[in-house]
């Protein structure tokens, strides 16, 4: 799947977009999608270590067009980042036509 194919599609329901996003996070974290909620923290709840985090960020950039993650990767406090916060960033940045 290319980043263009995975960009947020406002014509698709938010539930479908969320499901696709969660499935990608689950694959990267090697957990079942049903164990992930918006409040799930990448590090504490999903057990994502620094290597898995780097792989997850690359996947989000390539497959979901989240290039902003590369801009401030080192400055973010990833320990408290939730799946919901990442999803909202995806929605906002992907739906911005600029």
| All domains in the chain, ordered by first residue | 3-95 (1.10.1200.10)
Note if the pTM is more than 0.75: yes
Q: Is the pLDDT of residue 7 over 80?
A: no
Tens of pLDDT, residue by residue over 50-94, are 999 999 999 999 988 898 888 888 888 888 999 999 999 998 887
3-state secondary structure the chain: CCHHHHCCCCCCCHHHHHHHHHHHHHHHHCCCHHHCCCCCECCCCCCCCHHHHHHHHHHHHHHHCCCHHHHCHHHCCHHHCEHHHHHHHHHHHHHCCC
Shortest CA distance to 14 belongs to which of 87, 67, 97, 96?
Answer: 87
């Amino acid at each position: 799947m290319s980043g263009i194919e995975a960009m947020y599609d406002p014509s698709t329901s938010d539930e479908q977009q969320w499901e696709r996003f969660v499935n990608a996070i689950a694959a990267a974290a090697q957990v079942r999608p049903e164990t992930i909620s918006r409040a799930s923290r990448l590090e504490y709840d999903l057990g994502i270590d620094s290597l898995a985090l780097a792989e997850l960020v690359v996947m989000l950039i390539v497959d979901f067009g989240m290039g902003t993650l590369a801009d401030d990767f080192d400055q973010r406090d990833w320990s408290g980042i939730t799946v919901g916060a990442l999803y909202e960033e995806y929605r906002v940045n992907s739906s911005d036509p600029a």
